[in-house]
Amino acid sequence: MKQEFKIISSLIGKNSKILDVGCGNGELMKFILKNISNNIRGLEISKENVQACIQKGLTVIEGNAELDLGQFPNKSFGYVILSQTLQAFLKPEKVLFELLRVGKKAIVTIPNFGYWKVRTDLLFKGTMPVTENLPNEWYNTPNLHMCTIKDFVNFCNQRNLKLTKSISLSGNKVSHITRRNLNYKNLSSELGIFEIEK
Amino acid sequence: MNKIDNLNKYIVKEVLKLDCGKEISNFPIAYETYGKLNDKKNNGILIFHALTGDQFPGGKNPITNKEGWWNYALGPDKAIDTNKFFVISANVIGGCMGSFGPSSINPKTNKPYGSNFPVITINDMVNAQNFLLDRFNIKKLFAVIGGSMGGMQVLQFISNFPNKAEVAIPIACTASHSAQNIALNELGRQAIMADGEWDNGNYLQNGKSPSKGLSVARMAAHITYLSKKGLQEKFGRKLQERDTLKFGFDADFQIESYLRYQGSVFVDRFDANSYLYITRAMDYFDLTKQFNGNLSDAFKNSKTKFFIISFTSDWLYPTSENREIVIALNAIGADVGFIEIKSDKGHDSFLLDVPDFLSSVKNFLNNSYKNINETRV
């Protein structure tokens, strides 16, 4: 999703040091490298994706975010990005706190399970939702911990994590999520993009 | 041995102080080059060889008449592209392919050094090869690359000369030889020294050859270069040119015959004393200890970009040990990439036709070279 990349990039200061956790095939890193900062590296669990990153000339470390973030010193990155991966971890809470230890700021995006299409799928079809952002069936989804935007906002508030930016993305429509419009954005957003500080 | 006299050699005039305390000077380093050094002199790659390698990673080895040991990786349009890069490879000191080693003649006695050769270390090997860069007037290499003991030399080289290489690729190696590594090397050394023909290391001057001991050492080592799965798939329990077991100690099984063959061809090209000295150098290698237990400190002055590669089935220098290096580099915010290549071919994977490995090296080198040249224009 190109729009997501643009929003993430707009949050990042020029030439900052960046870690992309779960960087996949490196498309986001490539975008940032070209437009924002060449001081970026990725952590990726899939060998195939690591190969793809190397082919693109990106710096990538094969590893598992749940085990391998420990090797990075405190605040060693300006930004740590986690794009649509939080829901796939066994312990998302632990990973989130690791992101905030390693980075001064974390940028986390989550596919919103509260999106109206997801809700209607379940309501009318009575089957687990399959959408553009959630393309897998219940039996082969890597997503272990789906949440809604509202869940995530509450989660951060309960732990005193500062959401310095909260952005909603629906199609190509970008808007801000506020305390007032949270219920509505929780229904209308496909994706939530958050900048978090501890 | 006349053929060896004709190899390219650089005589190091300077004094090199070895870790053992002895000093050497006026000693030869045998080397080979591939490709062409460009005008900017920024396309140089130094390749370090493994325990039984030599200065002929590519092309044809003029001594053995066999293809170079890294033939899959090095050559025109290959992973290490000799159309693009100028590759230098040297025989390590302690070796037996023309560099200063235990089979060299001691001018004081006119006899081979044998056991009187000084004990050398990975650090000594790297310091000796660094002199070779003067021969080509190269201030900064594009890359240093090596697998196994060659990888240890890559790590030591960057530690000793932090800004002499743009990129470094240590492959299937370790920053510190483990107890298991030392044990396996000791097995090989004992096999050589138990051969009466070894003659306390003086076999060359006494017209003897500890080929049985050296052959057993090679057989034992060879097993450690392969994986259990690889061995099982290639040999299983297949019999060697016979239909039934012979109830004796002949090579009934193909794996036995294969190992015997590996041992027998090895003794034709390798010196037993070199085997002792080089395995010792590997055992003494502990870069972490050189920096008082903090491996990160070995690299803290370097801006070199690292790319570390391990193999899933390598149990000699397993992924976990390669990852220690990645962790140490990340701890100081160094530029480091890492990949574990899936392969059933064990430690030897780096020498074999493993497409994912070869394409990773190729992509990393070509992209890094492009970046360096673009940012400098």
Q: Report, in angstroms and rounded to the nearest whole number, the Rg of chain B calculated over CA atoms.
A: 21
ipTM of the complex: 0.92
Say whether pLDDT at B186 is over 70. yes
User: Would you state the pLDDT for residue B377?
Assistant: 40
For residue A176, the tally of other CB atoms under 10 A from its CB is 10
Cα separations in angstroms, A33 against A13, B366, B368, B376: 12, 18, 14, 17
Return the pLDDT at A2.
86
In the predicted model, is pLDDT for residue B178 greater than 80? yes
- The answer to whether the predicted template modeling score (pTM) of the entire model surpasses 0.90 is yes
Domain assignments of chain B as residue spans, ordered by start: 2-178+286-376, 182-278
User: Which DSSP string corresponds to A114-144?
Assistant: TSHHHHHIIIII-S----SSS-S-TTT---S
Size of interface A-B (CB pairs under 8 A): 54
pLDDT, mean of residues B343-355: 98
Percent pLDDT > 90 in chain B is 97
Select from B326, B360, B370 the Cβ nearest to the Cβ of A51. B360
Give percent above pLDDT 70 in chain B.
Answer: 99
The stretch B242-247 carries a mean pLDDT of 96
User: By CA distance, what is B312's nearest residue in A?
Assistant: A47
Asked if the Cβ–Cβ distance from B356 to A55 is below 8 Å, we say no
Of B305, B326, B356, the CB nearest to A51: B356
Residues sharing a CB contact under 8 Å with residue B247, sequence separation 6 or more, in sequence order: none
The DSSP code for B176 is B
Please give the Cα distance from B218 to B238 (Å, whole number): 22
- B294 to chain A, any CB pair closer than 8 A? The answer is no
Residue count of chain A, please give it.
198
- The fold of the B2-178+286-376 domain, in CATH, is Rossmann fold (3.40.50)
Asked whether the predicted pLDDT for residue B374 surpasses 90, the reply is: no
List the domain boundaries for chain A. Answer: 2-197
**Nearest chain A alpha carbon to B335:** A59
pLDDT score at A1 = 54
pLDDT, position A75 = 97
Determine the pLDDT at residue B376.
46
pLDDT at B2: 65
Is the pLDDT reported for residue B324 higher than 70?
yes
Topology adopted by domain B182-278: Rna Polymerase Sigma Factor; Chain: A (1.10.1740)
Q: Is the pLDDT of residue B375 over 80?
A: no
Please list the ranges in chain A whose pLDDT falls under 70. 1
pLDDT tens track for A30-51: 999 999 999 999 999 999 999 9
Topology of domain A2-197 in CATH is Rossmann fold (3.40.50)
What does the alpha-carbon distance between residue B30 and residue B9 come to, in Å, rounded to a whole number? Answer: 4
B55-96, pLDDT tens digit by residue? 999 999 999 999 999 999 999 999 999 999 999 999 999 999
Bigger pLDDT: B307 vs B376: B307
CA dihedral A33, A35, A38, A44 (to 10 degrees): -30
Confidence check: pLDDT of B3 > 90:
no
Catalytic residues of B: 148, 314, 347
List of chain B residues whose C-beta atoms are within 8 Å of the C-beta of residue A71: 326-327, 330-331
